Chains A and B, each alone.
Chain A
Amino acid sequence: MTIERMNNKIDSIIRACRLIRKMNQSGPNARKSDILYYNMLEGYYKRLLSAHDNNNLIAAHTDFFPVELLYAMDIVPMHTEVTTWMIVLFTGEIENILASGSELGLVSEICTPHRGIAGAYANGVVPRPDMMLWSNLVCDNTAKSGELIVEITGSKGYFLDYPFKSSASEMDYLVAELGDLVGFLERQSGRKMDWDRLSHIVGQMNVQIELMRQINELRKAVPTPFSPLGFLQLITADYLCPGQPEAIAYLETLRDELSQMVEAGEGAVSNERFRLMSFWLPPMHMMGFLDRIAEEFGAVSVTEPFFTFWGEGELDPGKPLESVARKSYIIPAMRMFGPMDERAIGSIVDCVEQYRVNGAVYYANIGCRHTCATIKLFKDVLADVDVPMLTIDCDVVDPTVTSEDEVRGKLEQFFEMLEDR
């Protein structure tokens, strides 16, 4: 296998980011935050590509894995699910890697981000990780994907066991698990954890969370200033670069831009008509199309209770490991991981009120069963506060599941219904 072939998907992502960044820079309405966002992405994947040349190890990891620990040790993270999205978003190619995932014996019910990344490793189109880190946060796919990847790539693996609830003994358990993880990382890398650096990253995480809260506040404005599907950028910044300067630079700039727009009464779309709540991920291959629809119908996602609506609380840089554990309990997605209780359901109603939502769109990713199991529940909760919800069956990376025509038809009908109300 040649190096060119090994790295070609990551290369393509980097090239695409560079191109978009340059196009943004040369455009008349260049948004500095957009440039910084693509800069952040490009930097993330460049570090991945050059990790071995720089004598750094690569650690592949699943959703919400505490990568703060990796950054504190100069271990280069590679987010498995996000990398599958990025491959689709920037290269449009997914068929081959999904087919390779199936050839490994992964059946079609296993969600495409995981089938895809296993296929990508088997094909050698992404760099081989030195370590695979995975956890049961948030689903069975994250919990079960690691061992096969360890086997395919010949890497070392660590499974982080997240307790389901948040009692004191569960928190102690998680902190101790993180302690073991640090030991594992030290053994694999031959480096010691830099605790000062971790404390600094935790401190910066506070800054980052606060920025995201401020951005959320600004999104409450009517019209809302943030782009219709901009939440994907917010979650990407947190998933890939928590507590990192490039994420903070992006978020600070974005906050300032949004704040100016709010002051000027400017909205993200020219004629805001529908303020939407979004659940989960729209298909990556439809991003451009969905942006056009948003502009055409004046429909903007203003809140995402399980993606961007951060819980209360602050992290303590003086207790870095405990803080990393604690962060898991304030991330918005955590409300979907633990028991589906009043806290989780209450956050939906809170968001409706705070963001003046008049409709909700649920992207029902067919491979993502723990989310889809809540479709009816969320629909009923929203119906109680008089907010209709549209469900769009789709797949985040597989373009064969639904077509643009189908999605357009559904959205048009939904918007008409909202208008009639």
Chain B
Amino acid sequence: MNSLDRFRKVNESFPMTDQILEHKSRGGKVFGWLCTYVPEEIIHAAGALPIRIIGYSHEANLDDADAHLYINNCTFSRSCLQLGLEGEYDFLDGVVGGSTCDGARRLFDIWRQYIGTPFHHVLTVPRKYTERAQRLYYDEIVAFKKHFEEYTGVDISDEALHQSTILFNESRSLLRRLYELRKRDKPPISGAETMEVLNAAYRMPKEIFNEWLGELIGDLESSDRACSGRARVMLVGSVLTNPEFVKSIEDQGALVVTDELCTSTRYWGDPVIIDNDRPVLESISRRYLNNFPCARMYPSDERFNRIIDFAKDYRVDGVISQIVRYCVPYAHDLPLLTDRLNGQGIPTLGLDVEYGTSGSGQVATRVQAFIEMLEARDK
């Protein structure tokens, strides 16, 4: 399908995609963000292009990153750093991170020390959802905006923020529509294909992305594509960007119908609710703190309940939790999450993986056994 292939093409030229190149060639600035708690709208409202810093979507040699971050940091942060150390992110004008987890904050620290990106900013991200936490995060967002304005020399108006918010909300709503299609008994798009679309979302201007995604949804709605599998599965856990990994699960006979990943549902989960009674910046900061939570947030049941709601909504038979080794926030949550899902009669398979893995070998064997178990339960 042509409208799907063009997202794949964007990803083929990662990290410096044609769209980024195009933006740069017009004199535009590009800023990388390290975690979903960084509000892209602020970067966009200054006329810059926000892109997500991610690592190789395949297993790669990480020797330099191992030396800089040590082997006991998650392969995601090491993979990102490896690309940075190799100069693949030299086109960035700045990096924005958050105090989200040890992997992300140390990636920021080491990046700042060893990679010559000109602008750096790290946000304090509270771990609670209280009113007090909302106020603190708002202050942090205001401070970031100020720092960003000083660096770029652009005054970010409320109107510009408002327009950016509308644009990013549009992406969120389109991605939600794409996911709605996956609720069907036989969805017109597979889990692996969906991941190609999501990956492109971080690497191109949202103006173009929205247009393309709208067309893809139209094509899918009117097509007779139908993906099927022996069990409907939800993927949860650490960051994941390799469509091959999802494909390897689907190749075993599972149909991946939804997920809870910071590179998918947790990215587009909630819109910014524009409330004319409060500054648009506050609406943005509230959205980012209250969005579909990462395992770093407290209490964890907020995340577990969202997962359970998704699992029910998408009628999943089982949940596959893939946790990148040394991803401590997600690893800590697994015993409790498994318990909560069991309580709902939803079995969980826990996979320890390295970021970028394609999921062959042992992973495939375990997934196969899990699907067989799910099938047997159904009978």
Residues of A within 8 A of B (CB): 104-107, 109-110, 136, 139-141, 143-145, 147-148, 151, 159, 161, 163-165, 167, 169-170, 173, 176-177, 339-340, 364, 366-370, 372-377
Contacts and interface: CB of A to CB of B under 8 A. Distances in A.
B76 to A, nearest CB: 12
A373 B331 contact: no
Q: Quick one: which of A139, A145, A147 has the most chain B CB within 10 A?
A: A147
Nearest to A366: B72
Contacts of B200: none
B333 interface: yes
Nearest to B337: A105
A376 B133 CA distance: 34
B336 A369 contact: no
A339 B102 CA distance: 11
B126 A105 contact: no
Closest 7 A-B residue pairs measured CB to CB? A105-B335, A164-B99, A144-B332, A373-B106, A340-B109, A370-B102, A372-B70
B173 interface: no
A147 B300 contact: yes
A173 B132 contact: yes
Interface of B: 67-70, 72-74, 99, 101-103, 105-106, 108-110, 112-113, 122, 124-128, 132-133, 135-136, 139-140, 143, 295-296, 298-300, 323, 325-329, 331-336, 338-339, 350, 352
Given A143-B296, A159-B128, 15 more contacts: A106-B332, A107-B334, A141-B328, A141-B332, A143-B127, A144-B295, A151-B336, A164-B124, A173-B133, A176-B132, A340-B109, A368-B72, A369-B73, A369-B328, A373-B70
A199 to B, nearest CB: 25
Contact of A375 (B70, B102, B113, B332): B70
B328 A144 contact: yes
Contacts of A104: 335
A159 B295 CA distance: 14
A364 B350 CA distance: 28
Contacts of A367: 72
A136 B124 CA distance: 12
Contacts of A165: 99, 122, 124
Contacts of A148: 332, 335-336
A161 B134 CA distance: 13
Contact of A376 (B67, B325, B338): B67
Nearest to B78: A373
A105 B338 contact: yes
A377 B113 contact: yes
A246 B126 CA distance: 36
A107 B73 contact: no
Contact of A373 (B110, B122, B128): B110
23 contacts: A105-B334, A107-B331, A110-B331, A110-B332, A136-B127, A139-B102, A140-B102, A143-B127, A143-B296, A144-B328, A161-B133, A161-B298, A163-B124, A173-B126, A177-B132, A339-B122, A364-B70, A368-B72, A369-B328, A372-B73, A373-B69, A375-B70, A376-B69
A147 B335 CA distance: 11
Q: Quick one: which of A106, A176, A339, A366 has the most chain B CB within 10 A?
A: A339
A107 B323 contact: yes
A140 B332 contact: yes
Contacts of A139: 102, 328
Given A107-B323, A144-B328, A377-B110, A369 B132 contact: no
A369 B72 contact: yes
B332 A376 contact: no
A109 B295 contact: no
A165 B342 CA distance: 39
B224 to A, nearest CB: 43
A364 B72 CA distance: 10
A175 to B, nearest CB: 11
B101 A140 contact: yes
Contacts of B335: 104-106, 148
A159 B127 contact: yes
Contacts of A106: 331-332, 335
Contacts of A173: 126, 132-133, 135-136
A170 B136 contact: yes
B319 to A, nearest CB: 14
Given A169-B136, A370-B106, A145 B122 contact: no
Q: Quick one: which of B72, B112, B127, B300 has the most chain A CB within 10 A?
A: B72
Nearest to B352: A107
Contacts of B336: 147-148, 151
A266 to B, nearest CB: 39
Nearest to A367: B72
Contacts of B323: 107
Contact of A109 (B68, B108, B328): B328
A68 to B, nearest CB: 22
Contacts of A147: 298-300, 332, 336
A143 B73 CA distance: 17
Contacts of B300: 147
A377 B125 CA distance: 25
Contacts of A109: 72, 325-328, 331
A346 to B, nearest CB: 13
B73 A163 contact: no
A376 B109 CA distance: 12
